[in-house]
Structure 1
Amino acid sequence: MVKSIEEFAAAKVNLDLLVTGKREDGYHLLDSLVVFTEFGDHIRVSEAEELSLDVSGPYKAAVPLDGSNLVLKAAKALQTKLNIKTGAKIHLEKNIPAAAGVGGGSADAAATLKALMRLWDIKMPVEELSELGLTLGADIPVCLLSQSAIMRGVGEDIRKIAPLPPLYMLLVNPGVSLSTPDVFKARAAELSDIADRSALMDKTLSRQDFLNLCLAQKNDLTEAAANLAPVVTEVLNVIEKQSDCLMVRMSGSGATCFGLFADIEAADMAKNAVLRYNTDWWAEAAPIKM
């Protein structure tokens, strides 16, 4: 019987994103409160002589199958680092829109690394695996953790936080892909201070205290993303008008935006309303992972 391993690749959402500096090599320094949802992609790996990838799901057409694919890059990097002689058949069920600012490719790569380690029965310290992930993409270390965290620097500084209060999220994407380098290039030069997030570290906050902390921050890339894709502003406005919406913001470099809700019923009602407003948009309601 062929051995097969499955991993869930949860959608990553930046509740805020502060650009706090820029290194000499051009990489920006960030400070972000990151959460993950119960919605995402699925990775399945099984025994094979060579590495291969096939894709299913509603967004399979947007996934390259050549060497540019981050899943294959991650698999080959792990194979090379550990001198693994066998391969793997990798299957990706692609439910997260491409280039959407919710870490789809990074989550897929992180899930692939974890699945292959189980398939190949290998052990590696978390820090070493994160270092490998960081060479492939800034979001991969936090996606390897796949739980609420503060992400700083260029993605290497990850700090776990206390469990979150129950919250539900509506994700909305207008079908527009935004290039992260283009959005950073278009942003104003001003830098933000690192946020004081100490209240998140020791205990679970009440929902209102948590929201107050989130509302005190912002996403420094929103204006640039909206200038490149004006529909971002429209999406934010539509979400904000939904009943019981507690907070609305863009995630990452866009174009996906989100609203926070106290219960899944309110998030589902908002999802239906958004899809009635524009049937061409993508929307998904899901709990935030605790």
Structure 2
Amino acid sequence: MRGLPPFGSPVATIKASAPAKVNLTLHVTGQRDDGYHLLDSLVVFADVADQISASVAPDLRMTASGPFSTGVPTDHTNLIMRAAEALRSVRGVTKGAALALEKHLPHAAGIGSGSSDAATTLAMLAELWQVAPLPATAPEVVALGADVPVCVGAPRPVRMSGIGDVLSPVAGLPDCAMILVRPPVEVPTGPVFQSLATKEGKPMDALPEGLDYDAFIRWLAAQRNDLQIPAEAIAPEITEAIDKLKSLPAVSLARMSGSGSTCFALVKDMATARHVARIVQVAKMDWWVAPAALL
């Protein structure tokens, strides 16, 4: 996670960023007997982020502020608190922590903000409490949710498969930027998966090494987000957002991230991303629009 001091440096307060997770692809390749879906996804992280701070305290407590803090629980049901409790239990920590979340990313939006918050919290508290961090493969991390393990490794791009627990590094991706757009609609993940025409889709094609921007776009265009069609059926606003992005000449590719409703567009550089973001924001003042660099 960005913003953390070197491990082993005692500090009273730690601040860190929890970056947005973007699924550039999302193939649903099967379903286990226990109901978990098998996925194959290229995951990247963007430089728009929630901000979290942690200070040593006698107990665990949490506050939430920021533009998207409305409705965010601050009790043990929040993934941040669950992550803190898991680390404290596994490492036998007796100290607590005062956690403060500045929520700049929309929640329930397909960009893993809650999972990124939890993963960032695990890294922060390991440093704050001076204990070994939990690896992404730890059962306690996997139990926090399918997106938490991949977020533990942020900001490195990764191929995520299995139920989110099989993480494979990918070769360096070409320089590019993106625009994140979320229309004001929430899409429930359960009905999206239930509406899939098939749950036995083909996995991603192998990602060649050394792709330039144009070749990367061509590779991405041949991949899928299998959840996009059922999500669009539930929330036509997603179709509107993607069509708006595709209508702009500078946009090379537009697609939905995760299970929605955030959509992304890829462009060549940040100057172009800012320009496209301004156009979209002026046209749709009630949409969340954010130009972002890939980390």
Give TM-score scaled by structure 1 length.
0.95
Give the match's secondary structure for 2:21. Answer: strand
* Displacement of 1:197: 1.9
Residue 141 of structure 1 corresponds to which residue in structure 2? Answer: 149
Of 24, 42, 48, which aligns to 1:39?
48
Q: Would the aligned equivalents of 1:243 and 1:266 in 2 still touch at CA under 8 Å?
A: no
Residue 31 of structure 2 corresponds to which residue in structure 1? Answer: 22
Q: Is 1:252 matched with 2:258? A: yes
* Displacement of 1:182: 2.1
In 2: Cα distance, 1:216 partner to 1:165 partner: 17
Matched AA of 1:231: E
Matched AA of 2:268: A
* Displacement of 1:286: 0.8
* Displacement of 1:132: 2.1
Give the match's secondary structure for 1:98. Answer: coil
Using the aligned pairs only, state the percent identity.
40
Q: Is 1:177 matched with 2:196? A: no
* Displacement of 1:189: 2.5
Of 222, 226, 246, which aligns to 1:240?
246
> Any residues of structure 2 matched to 1:66-81 within 5 Å, and which?
66-81=75-90
Matched AA of 1:269: H
Bigger fraction of residues in helix: 1
Give the match's secondary structure for 2:281. Answer: helix
Of 162, 167, 170, which aligns to 1:161?
170
Matched AA of 1:267: A
Q: Is 1:211 matched with 2:217? A: yes
Give TM-score scaled by structure 2 length.
0.93
In 2: Cα distance, 1:209 partner to 1:225 partner: 28
Matched AA of 1:277: A
- In structure 1, the gaps of 5 or more residues are none
In 2: Cα distance, 1:113 partner to 1:24 partner: 30
* Displacement of 1:191: 2.1
From the superposition, tell whether residues 139 and 127 of structure 1 become closer, same or farther in structure 2 (CA, over 3 Å). Answer: closer
Residue 125 of structure 2 corresponds to which residue in structure 1? Answer: 116
Of 68, 82, 91, which aligns to 2:100?
91
Q: Would the aligned equivalents of 1:4 and 1:119 in 2 still touch at CA under 8 Å?
A: yes
From the superposition, tell whether residues 128 and 231 of structure 1 become closer, same or farther in structure 2 (CA, over 3 Å). Answer: closer
How many pairs align? 285
Residue 283 of structure 1 corresponds to which residue in structure 2? Answer: 289
From the superposition, tell whether residues 204 and 93 of structure 1 become closer, same or farther in structure 2 (CA, over 3 Å). Answer: farther
